[in-house]
Structure 1
Amino acid sequence: MNKDTFKNTKRIEASLKKRYARERRFRLYGQLAVLTGFVFLFILLFDIVSKGSPAFTQQYLKITVHFDADSLGLGASPSEEDIRQANFSGVIKASLRDMFPEVTGRSDKRQLYRLVSIGAEYDLRDRVLDDSSLLGERKDIWLLAHSEAAAYLKGQVSRDIPEAERKLKDIQMDWLDTLRDDGRTRGSFNTQFFQYGDSREPELAGIRAALQGSFFTLLVTFLLAFPIGVFAAVYLEEFAPRNRITDLIEININNLAAVPSIVFGLLGLAVFINFFELPRSAPLVGGIVLSLMTLPTIIITSRAAIQSVSPSIRQAALGVGASKLQTVFHHVLPVAMPGILTGSIIGMAQALGESAPLLMIGMVAFIMDVPGSVTDPSTVLPVQIYLWADSPERGFTEKTSAAIMVLMGFLILMNALAIYLRKRFEVK
């Protein structure tokens, strides 16, 4: 080996070492980037789960209630309407005073009454409506605790915090400790969270109205966006002539996919509510707005799925005498369906998590009743989360995180459904 060859070999080896070193550094940077993403994701999920988990449990207090007819303001043979208007709140207050006879001051009594939720009186009313023989009886009844009292029983409020910095007073903690020592407190799964609508009281607030509203909104979105998006993609990809008009349409579809979602909300407010006078805060309008927002995504993904179909399938179908329409619907679409469904479900999942366009059409209103149709006033889960996140009460903080957990669960299910359908259609 001559001297020049030796130098060139050394130079190449040095260059290779530097190249391999850069490759290792790049691989390390990529691994660090992935690890950092997982760390932040874990922190986010841990924070949401740790804050939201307590919302799935509910605290109850066992109160000895005297269903005294005189205290309730009822006569000898009360009617159903009389029972509905009875003074159950006064009966609960009297029962609490009987359990803690040492409480005499007006301020202390108000603090004592705040241990029990305002919804307890409606619970007693329903019990008496179901069984009028309770009148005159004295029974131990499990009543829903107030959100602040429940937070202490769950261990979320500590005595180490100065009394001035918490809503629950020391004397209320003493009463709760007494009830807990007597076995008069218990926790159970919070079924009301999935059965009730929104409420001003954190312990009574639920997500059923928001879930029902989200279902109706997504139903309208799917019924409009999926067929229109798929047929538009089929026409543009298989039948439309290649000219300036179709090029302009394709450019605008791609641009619409990047338009901020709040712009679609402004469009819905101006056109569907102000011009067509459709009902405000209704899933019908929300679904139309979200379908407009989802259409570009479905069209783009559907076109990509149709483009991925092998030309040999089209040629074989045409070669045996199939028409263009038969070729597309009998051969091309079934092969492209996994990609079409995947894109459509991902678009629907994006619509499920949107709140900005729905805020513009009035779905931010306080809704307690569960909607029964697409024209009833309603809210959706992301907007409900927004409303609770803006509330100052501690109880709504955990409800916010719990609702986020439910929303994330639905998003995961929708993405899992997309993967399942894609695999199933690929096998077929």
Structure 2
Amino acid sequence: MNKLPSDKPVAIDLVNASLAKRHTSEKLFQRIGLLSLLMGLTFLFIIFFSIISKGYTAFQQTFIQLEIDFTTQLLGTEATSDPEIRSSADYGGLVKKSMREMFPEADGRQEKRLLYELVSSGAAYQLRDMVMDDPALIGQTRQVWVPAGDDVDMFNKGHMKRELPEAQRRLRDMQITWLDRLQAEEKIALKFNTAFFTSGDSREPELAGIRGALMGSLLTLTVTLMLSFPVGVATAVYLEEFASKNRWTDFIEVNINNLAAVPSIVFGLLGLAVFINFMSVPRSAPLVGGLVLTLMTLPTIIIASRAALKSVPPSIREAALGVGASKMQTVLFHVLPLALPGMLTGTIIGMAQALGETAPLLMIGMVAFIVDVPSSVFDPATVLPVQIFLWADSPERAFVERTSAAIMVLLAVLIAMNTLAVMLRKKFERRW
């Protein structure tokens, strides 16, 4: 090693001595980062695998084929001419009669009860809808596929093991024997579960669907978008283009940034106090839900819109002003069109965040059990995240797969919204 006359090492020698240590530290840091990435992807894969493995079976439903005799003795002699009689007829009796004819050996009261449990209570409503739509069915005999009960559905999908002792499963040995006979006669099958997408909530898992929650989410997000986008963009334009830089505007900017970090349940409490208790807005309605989510998403939209405005080069403003455009004309016809793609991206991200919120909506009553599909922003409604919350708290095994399936639908919508935001940004983004 070269030494100075004072026997002290030169700087290059000190650098070379520490170079190997630095390279080792860099490789260790890279490996730690790679390990963190792999751990994150692994946990993400586990979450998705768990949700999909539990939820994909909800898109199929077990159906049983029954021979239904739409006899006038049960439906009423005037059923063809009187809609009220057709609507109130004993359709459940038709289902029970068909089941007794298929299994005449079930003669005791307990055995008949077990037999009737094989078919869902929704079968009677299905027959009623068929007769209401086509009165000519009365007096005819038809082969009809009706939904099976939730326990039968779980057994047919393999979620309930027949090897278990009878006391440890919800289906009795006699019921499994009947199901085996239906299987041998090809009168039981798995079909696409259209009710999951076309029905509202229900106490019966085999009848429960997400249409009401999807419609509630759509109405709530519509209210949120109609309020938050114009207000957020107008606020961003004023603060960025017209407002003077003083303590007042600094105070507003600080508070907007702070509101973006406020827990969402605080907005729910605010909505409960102001919109429901003070303004008497209908409880559990998409209108009040949209108002609450508007307060929550406004900071996100304002911050994204201001960033989009800042990305427009000053030369655009200077050129417009140089040819005689006013300040307002410059902003409306030159700056705003160039910043609009970034504003739309921020708005879509804010809407996706609002779609996945649950806590603020629980505070304003959107956790209620809603069977009917809402048709306006004033009707009682729930949203998809809250519907998932309600189903996750249900004890029936069939609700587990419906909870996971609803999560899959929610994730698909969120991924679609974020994909749309990325596509809009790439399509309209301009680099200066």
TM bracket, shorter-chain basis: over 0.9
Distance in 1 (CA, whole Å) between partners of 2:114 and 2:15 is: 83
Of residues 403, 407, 411, the one that matches 1:404 is 407
Displacement of 1:200 after TM fit? 0.8
Displacement of 1:212 after TM fit? 0.8
Q: How does 1:331-370 map to 2 (within 5 A)?
A: 331-370=334-373
Moved over 4 A (4+): 3-11
Q: Tell me: CA distance 1:73–1:299, structure 2 relative to 1, closer, same or farther (3 Å).
A: closer
Displacement of 1:69 after TM fit? 2.8
Distance in 2 (CA, whole Å) between partners of 1:342 and 1:136 is: 60
> What's the counterpart of residue 235 of structure 2?
232
Q: How does 1:185-264 map to 2 (within 5 A)?
A: 185-264=188-267
> What's the counterpart of residue 75 of structure 1?
77
Displacement of 1:357 after TM fit? 0.9
Q: How does 1:296-307 map to 2 (within 5 A)?
A: 296-307=299-310
Higher mean displacement: 179-188 or 303-312: 303-312
Displacement of 1:381 after TM fit? 0.7
Report how many residues are paired.
Answer: 427
Displacement of 1:73 after TM fit? 5.2
In the superposition, the TM-score normalised over structure 1's length comes to: 0.95
- What amino acid maps onto 1:106 in structure 2? R
Q: How does 1:83-232 map to 2 (within 5 A)?
A: 83-232=86-235
Of residues 50, 54, 57, the one that matches 2:57 is 54
Distance in 2 (CA, whole Å) between partners of 1:136 and 1:2 is: 111
Of residues 386, 389, 393, the one that matches 2:389 is 386
Residues 75 and 91 in structure 2, CA contact (< 8 A), matched pair in contact too: no
1:66 aligns with 2:59: no
> What's the counterpart of residue 24 of structure 1?
27
> What's the counterpart of residue 325 of structure 1?
328
1:329-380 CA-to-partner distances (Å, cap 9, x unmatched) read 2222222222211111111110001111111111111111111111111111
Displacement of 1:7 after TM fit? 6.1
Displacement of 1:233 after TM fit? 0.7
- What amino acid maps onto 2:205 in structure 1? P
The unaligned stretches of length 5 or more in structure 1 are none
Residues 93 and 113 in structure 1, CA contact (< 8 A), matched pair in contact too: yes
Displacement of 1:135 after TM fit? 3.2
Distance in 1 (CA, whole Å) between partners of 2:131 and 2:2 is: 107
Displacement of 1:103 after TM fit? 1.4
Distance in 2 (CA, whole Å) between partners of 1:43 and 1:52 is: 14
1:229-282 CA-to-partner distances (Å, cap 9, x unmatched) read 111011111111111111111111111111111111111111111111111111
1:266 aligns with 2:283: no
Q: Tell me: CA distance 1:119–1:11, structure 2 relative to 1, closer, same or farther (3 Å).
A: same
Residues 72 and 79 in structure 2, CA contact (< 8 A), matched pair in contact too: no
Q: Tell me: CA distance 1:37–1:77, structure 2 relative to 1, closer, same or farther (3 Å).
A: closer
Task: Report the 3-state secondary structure (helix = DSSP H, G, I; strand = E; otherwise coil) of the residue aligned with 2:429.
Answer: helix
Displacement of 1:165 after TM fit? 2.6
Distance in 1 (CA, whole Å) between partners of 2:339 and 2:320 is: 15
Q: How does 1:276-315 map to 2 (within 5 A)?
A: 276-315=279-318
- What amino acid maps onto 1:382 in structure 2? P
Displacement of 1:301 after TM fit? 1.3
Distance in 2 (CA, whole Å) between partners of 1:350 and 1:396 is: 25
Q: Tell me: CA distance 1:242–1:6, structure 2 relative to 1, closer, same or farther (3 Å).
A: closer
Residues 338 and 423 in structure 1, CA contact (< 8 A), matched pair in contact too: no
Task: Report the 3-state secondary structure (helix = DSSP H, G, I; strand = E; otherwise coil) of the residue aligned with 2:67.
Answer: strand
Q: Tell me: CA distance 1:384–1:324, structure 2 relative to 1, closer, same or farther (3 Å).
A: same
Residues 309 and 336 in structure 1, CA contact (< 8 A), matched pair in contact too: yes
Q: Tell me: CA distance 1:410–1:76, structure 2 relative to 1, closer, same or farther (3 Å).
A: closer
Residues 210 and 380 in structure 1, CA contact (< 8 A), matched pair in contact too: yes
Q: Tell me: CA distance 1:75–1:221, structure 2 relative to 1, closer, same or farther (3 Å).
A: same
Displacement of 1:409 after TM fit? 0.8
Task: Report the 3-state secondary structure (helix = DSSP H, G, I; strand = E; otherwise coil) of the residue aligned with 1:62.
Answer: strand
Residues 224 and 290 in structure 2, CA contact (< 8 A), matched pair in contact too: yes
Residues 79 and 86 in structure 2, CA contact (< 8 A), matched pair in contact too: no
Higher mean displacement: 386-395 or 119-128: 119-128
CA RMSD of superposed structures (Å): 1.8
Displacement of 1:97 after TM fit? 1.4
Distance in 1 (CA, whole Å) between partners of 2:306 and 2:189 is: 57
Work out the percentage of aligned pairs sharing the same amino acid.
61
Task: Report the 3-state secondary structure (helix = DSSP H, G, I; strand = E; otherwise coil) of the residue aligned with 1:61.
Answer: strand
Distance in 1 (CA, whole Å) between partners of 2:306 and 2:79 is: 72
1:372 aligns with 2:375: yes
Q: Tell me: CA distance 1:133–1:142, structure 2 relative to 1, closer, same or farther (3 Å).
A: same
Distance in 2 (CA, whole Å) between partners of 1:418 and 1:223 is: 18
Displacement of 1:76 after TM fit? 5.8
> What's the counterpart of residue 278 of structure 2?
275
Residues 268 and 285 in structure 1, CA contact (< 8 A), matched pair in contact too: yes
Higher mean displacement: 140-149 or 418-427: 418-427
Distance in 2 (CA, whole Å) between partners of 1:231 and 1:65 is: 63
Task: Report the 3-state secondary structure (helix = DSSP H, G, I; strand = E; otherwise coil) of the residue aligned with 1:142.
Answer: strand
Displacement of 1:61 after TM fit? 0.5
In the superposition, the TM-score normalised over structure 2's length comes to: 0.94
